[in-house]
């Protein structure tokens, strides 16, 4: 059943595959983000209540939802690495953590910049904001654990356990605005039924969102490749690669 | 699946289940304290669920909608007083709804207007159900639309009310 996946558990195959993917996805990312951001900032209509300030939505919402997405991806990789001891799953979890941390940080900063003019405050300890801050700390903890051990296997194990424990935070972030009274508003796009947004505002969002998705894919591939190289530096195929291409 | 992997999977799964149970229970126990604010009706009747009532002189946050026509500004200063009512769908205001008067002296956020969601932080005076606020924050909803659409929307909803829907 899993036979078709087996070649990709080989670091060398995966290294070359991701190398071939990167240029295509980079081009896609640049195209989507250029169209999306230009559309969002210049051509999308201003909001009836918030005016132009609402445009930060196009950065804030993708980074915030995708920071959770990255965490879930990292948790799945951590599970695979803990249970099936796949070395590559471990490498991908290590590759994802800093990207997730940056996305979480961007969502917090853009949220603060949006909160000041609209709500009247940079920060408030409401359930949504606090749980998102905890997500940032989880990412930082995972990064720290990956770097805390000389031996990559035990580092991966420790970081993997923290990652899996932290999964509890994800539904809390997602449903915080429904379970408790918060200053933060409810979900606009990711909810059942029709999004609470007019269609000419939604299209640029879809472009921005997909742009950020592929941005993550590209950066992950780049980091993943360097993780593979550094973890397999003693293998003959890596030596051959270095000899053929020269050390850059 | 080979037995060692099966064992590891069971361990990981049971740790996860135990942890989610524990955190679920903790959050349930804390649920009233995680709420950022009281609703106006909860000041009168106590918190939903637990029934904890706010006491006179307690510092708290209150959240609700600004009742249209209740905003009174002082001509010579920034002082302002307005009434808050519970948010309910669809948005309607009734004379008999529980209302809390908020008094504030300071600059209001841009989004402050009648019918808007507000969270105010201040000291409760249960004598007249008044809150002396030190901070007023605006809460906006998750709906975004262009100006022209909003005018169309309000027109149709007004027509709907006129027809008695």
CA distance A195 to chain B (A): 8
Q: Do A47 and B19 touch (CB under 8 A)?
A: no
Closest CA of chain A from B9, distance in Å: 5
pLDDT tens digits, B130-151: 888 888 888 887 888 887 666 5
Q: Tell me if chain A has a CB within 8 Å of the CB of B109.
A: yes
Structure tokens at B144: 């975004």
Residue A163 is predicted with a pLDDT of 94
Alpha-carbon distance of A102 to A139, in angstroms, equals: 9
| Most confident listed range (A49-63, A92-106, B106-120) | A92-106
Q: What residues in chain A have their Cβ under 8 A from chain B's Cβ atoms? A: 45-50, 54, 57, 79, 82-84, 117-121, 124-127, 164-165, 167-168, 172, 179-183, 185-188, 196-198, 200-201
pLDDT at residue B29, as a whole number? 78
CA A192 to CA A177: how far, in whole Å? 15
Nearest residue in B to A61, CA atom: B142
- Write down the mean pLDDT value for chain A: 89
Residue B16 contacts A, CB cutoff 8 Å: yes
DSSP conformational letter for B146: B
pLDDT > 60? residue B156: no
Give the SS3 label for residue A211: helix
Per-residue tokens: B28: 């349930």
User: d(Cα B55, Cα B40) in Å, to the nearest integer?
Assistant: 14
In this prediction, residues A203-217 reach a mean pLDDT of 94
The pLDDT of residue B164 = 31
Position A129 pLDDT exceeds 90: yes
CA–CA distance, A193 with A49 (Å, rounded to integer): 23
Q: How many whole angstroms separate alpha carbon A21 and alpha carbon B138?
A: 46
Say if the Cβ atoms of A127 and B36 lie within 8 Å: yes
pLDDT digits (tens, 9 = 90+) for A73-125: 999 999 999 988 888 999 999 999 999 999 999 999 999 999 988 888 899 88
Q: Which two tokens stand for residue B153?
A: 């929307």
Show the tokens assigned to A59: 């950065």
Distances (CA, A) of A36 to A24, A208, B163: 18, 5, 42
Contact predicate A65/A174, CB 8 Å:
no
Across the interface, which of B23, B36, B147 has its CB nearest the CB of A181?
B36
Across the interface, whether the CB atoms of B142 and A196 are under 8 A apart is answered yes
Residue in B16, B109, B147 closest to A118 by CB: B109
- Helix, strand or coil for residue A133? helix
Residue of B nearest to A186 (CA): B142
- Share in percent of chain B as helix, strand, coil (round to 5): 35, 30, 40
Comparing CA positions, the residue from B45, B94, B43 lying closest to residue B67 is B94
pLDDT at A58: 93
Q: Model confidence over A136-158: pLDDT tens digits? A: 999 999 999 999 988 888 999 99
Q: Closest-CA residue in chain A for B18?
A: A165
CA angle, B15 as apex, B10 and B17 as ends, to 5°? 95
Does this complex have an ipTM over 0.85? no
Measured in angstroms, the CA of A8 and the nearest CA of chain B are apart by 20
Judge whether residue B163 has pLDDT over 60. no
Does residue B50 sit in helix, strand or coil? coil
| Chain B residues 125-154 with a CB less than 8 Å from chain A | 135-150
Give yes or no for a cis peptide into A192 (omega within 30° of 0): no
pLDDT at position A78:
94
d(CA A142, CA A131): 16
Asked if A186's CB is within 8 angstroms of B141's CB, the reply is: yes
Asked if residue B153 lies in contact with residue A133, where contact means CB atoms within 8 angstroms, the answer is no
pLDDT at B150: 60
């Amino acid at each position: 059943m899993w036979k078709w996946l087996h070649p990709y558990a080989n670091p060398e195959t995966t290294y070359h595959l991701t190398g071939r993917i990167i240029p295509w996805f980079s081009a896609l990312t640049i195209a989507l983000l250029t169209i999306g951001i230009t559309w969002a900032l210049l051509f999308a209509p201003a909001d009836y209540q918030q005016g132009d300030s609402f445009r930060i939505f196009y950065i804030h919402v993708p980074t915030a939802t995708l920071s959770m997405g990255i965490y879930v991806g990292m948790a799945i990789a951590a599970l695979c690495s803990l249970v099936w001891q796949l070395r590559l799953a471990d490498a991908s979890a290590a590759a994802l953590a800093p990207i997730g941390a940056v996305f979480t940080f961007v969502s917090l900063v853009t949220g603060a910049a949006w909160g000041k003019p609209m709500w009247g405050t940079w920060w408030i300890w409401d359930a949504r904001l606090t749980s998102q801050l905890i997500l940032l700390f989880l990412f930082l903890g995972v990064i720290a654990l990956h770097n805390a051990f000389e031996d990559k296997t035990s580092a991966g194990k420790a970081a993997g356990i923290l990652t899996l424990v932290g999964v509890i935070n994800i539904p809390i972030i997602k449903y915080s605005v429904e379970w408790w009274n918060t200053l933060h508003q409810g979900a606009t796009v990711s909810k059942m039924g029709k999004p609470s947004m007019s269609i000419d505002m939604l299209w640029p969002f879809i472009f921005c969102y997909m742009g950020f998705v592929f941005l993550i894919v590209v950066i992950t591939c780049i980091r993943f490749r360097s993780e593979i190289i550094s973890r397999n530096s003693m293998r003959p195929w890596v030596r051959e690669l270095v000899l053929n291409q020269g050390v850059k | 699946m080979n037995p060692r992997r099966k064992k590891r999977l069971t361990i990981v799964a049971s740790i996860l289940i135990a942890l989610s149970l524990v955190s679920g229970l903790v959050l349930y126990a804390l649920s009233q304290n995680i709420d950022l604010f009281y609703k106006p009706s909860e000041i009168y009747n106590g918190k939903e669920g637990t029934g904890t009532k706010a006491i006179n002189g307690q510092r708290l946050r209150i959240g609700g909608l600004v009742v249209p026509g209740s905003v009174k500004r002082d001509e010579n200063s920034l002082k302002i007083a307005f009434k808050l009512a519970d948010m309910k769908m669809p948005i309607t205001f009734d004379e008999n709804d529980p209302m809390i008067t908020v008094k504030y002296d300071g600059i209001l956020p841009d989004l402050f207007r009648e019918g808007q969601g507000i969270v105010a932080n201040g000291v409760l005076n249960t004598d007249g159900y008044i809150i002396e606020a030190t901070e007023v924050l605006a809460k906006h909803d998750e709906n975004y639309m262009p100006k022209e659409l909003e005018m169309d929307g309000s027109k149709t909803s007004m027509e709907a009310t006129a027809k008695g829907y």
